[in-house]
Structure 1
Amino acid sequence: MSIVLEAQNINKYFEKPTRFQVLKDINFTIEKGEFVSIMGKSGCGKSTLLYILSTMDTEYEGRLLLNNEVISGQSGEKLSYIRNKHIGFVFQFHYLLADFTVLENIMLPAKKLGEKTLEAIEKDAYDKLKLLKIDHLALKKASQVSGGEKQRVAIARALINNPSIIMGDEPTGNLDSNNADNVFTIFRELCDKQHLSLLIVTHDEDFAKRTDRIILMEDGTIKK
């Protein structure tokens, strides 16, 4: 299998109020088509690690590789491009623009990337909506769809640039058990049918147990 994401000897310090090591010698790989969850108590460093892996935080020691390319130390502009093209994000809160239609929300990252025509982007957006079985919502305002539907829209938006990996920070945290189950099923299908890699930070043990592998964190280190 090919490796999509690799963390090598990642160390992270917070400098204020006093110097404190929040991540200690983090090493792991995520393979193409692998569905991995990160678990651990609050404050163990899960979200800090995700910010580093997603290239949002560049103040760390160690190396990060995406598709076998070292992305540590790249310029802010290059990282912004990598983030938009190769990494899809799904957060606990959907961050949709309420006055935009569902379709317009999904198209935004592709318009920002600017590598396709508007017509091609719109077609891609409809394809993602069909994939997630919400194409009937395309022209509705984001504010008019339900919580579970909003999270599906957020997933479609994360998929629009055909990323190498989807990263999620508690993507089912705001959902009831039925909608959380739906999101899990979507992720599983993306993994199995599209061979997409997924890395999801979660507190939901039932969710994590159904992923391919759990990375368990404790006090800034990986326990297993």
Structure 2
Amino acid sequence: MNKNIVLKAENINKYFRVPTLFHVLKDISFEIEKGEFVSIMGKSGCGKSTLLYILSTMDTDYNGALFLDGEDLSHKSADQLAFIRNQHIGFIFQFHYLLQEFTVLENVMLPAKKLGIKSLEEIEHDAIEKLRLLGIADQAKKLSMRISGGQKQRVAIARALINKPSIIMGDEPTGNLDSKNSEIVFSILKELSEEEKLSLLVVTHDIDFAKKTNRIIEMEDGRIIS
């Protein structure tokens, strides 16, 4: 497989079986290259969030093949997938899911502590670096409940970056932000793809956001239509 390909989906099919059989994803195939910023668009119910769950290895009940950095993930155990997910995939959601009673720094450190590869000193150093990259190192010691919505989303991005992932996946990462903070978050993501050669895959309803990404994957009724 081409070394530049970070994520590859091959003929992904997904069925919901309850309450009746429903073919929700139909022959989904595409690739994402290193440093590429890709958005997925489509009406509600077209299957884009279901697809993101499969691509992120959270849902393993599908037919087809999924490759991350050339490695076939289709037959891995739940424990293997959890390790791969934590090390190689960063997540940004519409809601930041920060632990309110933890400091900003502690929130960013969490995925690295869970991975357990680096010492606490190294993790703390890396977390401060990520916060600096996102322009909020001065907020490190604050409780996450004490910072603004836009800052919280930046903390969530820092947390997604802590394990140096191959790809970041986002589900409506600007859906909860005003236009100014949406712009800031978009600029940060764009910079990560260009400067750090990080691959990004983002589900969004925001056409202005999507138009500025490298490529739009458009979905309708469980298929990719463009």
The TM-score range, normalised by the shorter chain, is: over 0.9
Select 1:21's aligned residue among 17, 23, 26: 23
Secondary structure of 2:75's match?
coil
Matched with 1:176 is 178
1:93 aligns with 2:92: no
The structure 1 segments of at least 4 consecutive aligned residues displaced by more than 6 Å after TM superposition are none
Secondary structure of 1:44's match?
coil
Q: Which whole-Å CA distance do the structure 1 matches of 2:61 and 2:225 have between them? A: 23
The Cα offsets for residues 153-190 of structure 1, whole Å up to 9 and x where unpaired, read as: 00000000000000000000000000000000000000
Q: Which whole-Å CA distance do the structure 1 matches of 2:52 and 2:6 have between them? A: 15
Secondary structure of 2:25's match?
strand
1:154 aligns with 2:156: yes
The Cα offsets for residues 11-60 of structure 1, whole Å up to 9 and x where unpaired, read as: 00000111000000000000000000000000000000000000000000
Matched with 2:73 is 71
Matched with 1:201 is 203
- Letter of the 1:40 partner, please give it: G
TM-score (norm 2): 0.99
Q: Which whole-Å CA distance do the structure 1 matches of 2:219 and 2:146 have between them? A: 38
Matched with 1:46 is 48
Select 2:123's aligned residue among 105, 110, 121: 121
- Letter of the 2:158 partner, please give it: A
Q: CA RMSD in A?
A: 0.5
**Aligned-pair identity (%):** 69
- The gaps in structure 2 that reach 5 residues or longer are none
The Cα offsets for residues 108-161 of structure 1, whole Å up to 9 and x where unpaired, read as: 000000000000000000000000000000000000000000000000000000
- Letter of the 1:16 partner, please give it: V
- Letter of the 1:134 partner, please give it: I
Q: Which whole-Å CA distance do the structure 1 matches of 2:121 and 2:136 have between them? A: 20
Q: Which whole-Å CA distance do the structure 2 matches of 1:166 and 1:184 have between them? A: 13
What number of residue pairs does the alignment pair up? 224
Secondary structure of 1:42's match?
coil
Matched with 1:131 is 133
| Alpha-carbon shift at residue 72 of structure 1 (Å) | 1.0
- Letter of the 1:39 partner, please give it: M
